[in-house]
Homo-oligomer: A and B are copies of this chain.
């Protein structure tokens, strides 16, 4: 995981190391120090770029494998069925590799509800760069609005499934969840919305 000699340490390599550490060790096990070591940089640089461990977690999740790493795969099929592909990629990520981070995320959400700075982090995470880039790549209007609508949709779904345990959403299998929610995502992603022409 150390950086290649000669390449400058950058935000991306720290984020990749952080994601790896959070996944392997969980939120409590991963430390700024262990992440810095994995990225081959000084812990002070991690602090400089990202601030606290909470902020780093959110940044790691925001540059999210869900959309970020799978952008080419998501785009390969074009606009058709995109809502379903985004949902499946999200569930695959959260219910397999990101599973160890779920508790930390719930904690972050809790902070976000009371603290303005955490709300800012969550805001960025909800409608972050990956989704906006996905929508831009499709040349669709109002990418920020579309990303926000999807962010609110996925947030409500995540709260119902992982936090409040609202049935039948909490224990439905992924195929059913996708069938229920994909048409909504598809509309927010690709269909005409009021304000598109202005």
Contacts and interface: CB of A to CB of B under 8 A. Distances in A.
Contacts of A144: 167-168
A16 interface: no
A112 B164 CA distance: 7
Interface residues of A, number: 41
B119 A109 contact: no
A104 interface: no
B151 A166 contact: yes
Given A156-B153, A160-B126, A176-B195, A165 B119 contact: yes
Copies of this chain, whole number: 2
Nearest to A106: B113
A155 B144 CA distance: 20
Interface string A59-91: 000000000000000000000000000000000
Contacts of A148: 160, 166-169
Interface of A: 106, 109-110, 112-114, 119, 122-123, 126-127, 144-145, 148-149, 151-157, 159-160, 163-169, 176, 179-181, 183-184, 187, 193-195
Given A145-B168, A148-B169, 8 more contacts: A106-B113, A123-B164, A123-B165, A127-B166, A148-B168, A153-B184, A155-B159, A155-B160
